[in-house]
């Protein structure tokens, strides 16, 4: 059974980061209403480079703080992305409504009907199918939905809420998108893990019937603990901890203070052959080197966000013997040099629009 803490940052991988795309998209509603991006980002403790550098990364806790700021500022749990506000407390009321349901399928049916009462431009509908069920995102009116932020947030919200209600890590059968593969699609392996297909007739997330039949195990006594972080954490907390990607990352992160293990050592720790590990990585459309680079990138960002180590020391800590090699690698990963990234934490700018790759 999943504990409450598994939805919090105490169980997040320490160095995990997410694409700056989500920060830019989230800010769009506030900008459309005349608020200043620089002031909002400063309050969230996020460097201003996220506004203009597509490769920049954001820590989950800072992204969650940004979302809380935006919800309070706009008095809207959908942060200005819909054509009407979803007032503060709407999500908590939803949870109160569906907790007495017997099964997950019943809860999803009732919960999605609840949001239709608000006459929002974009809402999710639950459809029962043969041996499965689908959460289908429909748009009925024009709304901001910057870079389809609200569309993807709805899918993540209903899936994460389903996991919490049942105490299970519910597998996603498939996610279909009614648009081309976006530039940030690589992030989906963290938040919407499973098979992804694009240019489909509708946007939906499909679940197995066996999971829809699971009982609701939570009660209203469990709700205050969830509401300390939800629904903000649903967007920023990786939920694919059973993937081979996540398993390898955990092994590598344990060894960040020493030399990271090689591919053969990781396979041994996973009690599998190197051939099987390569096949499983291919199935997840990734590689050992890519995962290793992500860990090194995020660890470097972690250290650069603090003033404890010099840039040369950070280079050594993440496995580079030559600072110049680290500089080139970091710029390839994030689009900026280590020095510029560190300076960007306090950089003064006056942005007027958000860049998108």
Lowest-pLDDT choice from 134-148, 157-171, 338-352: 338-352
CB 169 within 8 A of CB 239: yes
pLDDT computed for residue 348 by the predictor: 40
Q: Please report the pLDDT score of residue 211 as a whole number.
A: 96
Count the alpha carbons within 13 Å of 146 in the hemisphere toward its beta carbon. Answer: 20
Tokens 């999803």 — which residue? 108
Average pLDDT, rounded, for the chain: 87
Angle at 237 between CA 187 and CA 127, to 5 degrees: 75
Percent of the chain as helix, strand, coil, to the nearest 5: 50, 10, 40
- Residues 64-110: pLDDT tens digits? 899 999 999 999 999 999 999 999 999 999 999 999 999 999 999 99
The residue extents of the domains of the chain are 89-240, 244-344
List the CATH code of the domain at 244-344: 1.10.10.60
């Amino acid at each position: 059974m999943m504990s409450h803490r598994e939805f919090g940052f105490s169980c997040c991988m320490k160095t995990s980061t997410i694409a700056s795309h989500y920060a830019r998209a989230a800010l769009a509603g506030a900008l459309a209403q005349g608020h200043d991006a620089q002031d909002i980002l400063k309050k969230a403790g996020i460097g201003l480079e996220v506004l203009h550098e597509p490769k920049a990364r954001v820590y989950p806790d800072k992204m969650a703080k940004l979302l809380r700021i935006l919800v309070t500022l706009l008095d809207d749990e959908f942060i200005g992305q819909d054509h009407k506000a979803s007032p503060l407390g709407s999500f908590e009321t939803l949870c109160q409504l569906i907790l007495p349901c017997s099964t997950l399928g019943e809860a999803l049916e009732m919960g999605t009907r609840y949001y239709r009462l608000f006459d929002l431009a974009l809402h999710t509908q639950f459809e029962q199918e043969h041996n499965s069920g689908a959460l289908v995102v429909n748009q009925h009116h024009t709304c901001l939905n910057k870079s389809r932020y609200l569309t993807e947030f709805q899918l993540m919200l209903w899936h994460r809420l389903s996991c919490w209600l049942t105490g299970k890590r519910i597998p996603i059968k498939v996610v279909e998108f009614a648009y081309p593969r976006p530039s940030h699609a690589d992030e989906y392996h963290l938040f919407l893990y499973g098979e992804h297909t694009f240019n489909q007739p509708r946007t939906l997330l499909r679940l197995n019937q066996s999971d829809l039949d699971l009982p609701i195990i939570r009660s209203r006594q469990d709700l205050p603990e969830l509401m300390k972080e939800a629904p903000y954490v649903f967007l920023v907390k990786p939920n694919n901890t059973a993937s081979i990607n996540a398993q390898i990352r955990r092994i590598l992160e344990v060894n960040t203070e020493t030399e990271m293990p090689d591919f053969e050592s990781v396979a041994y720790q996973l009690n599998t052959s190197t051939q099987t590990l390569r096949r499983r990585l291919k199935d997840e459309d990734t590689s050992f080197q890519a995962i290793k680079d992500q860990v090194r990138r995020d660890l470097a960002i972690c250290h650069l966000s603090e003033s404890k180590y010099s840039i040369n020391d950070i280079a050594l800590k993440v496995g580079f013997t030559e600072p110049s090699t680290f500089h080139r690698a970091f710029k390839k990963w994030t689009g900026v040099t280590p020095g510029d990234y560190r300076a960007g934490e306090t950089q003064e700018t006056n942005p007027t629009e958000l860049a998108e790759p």
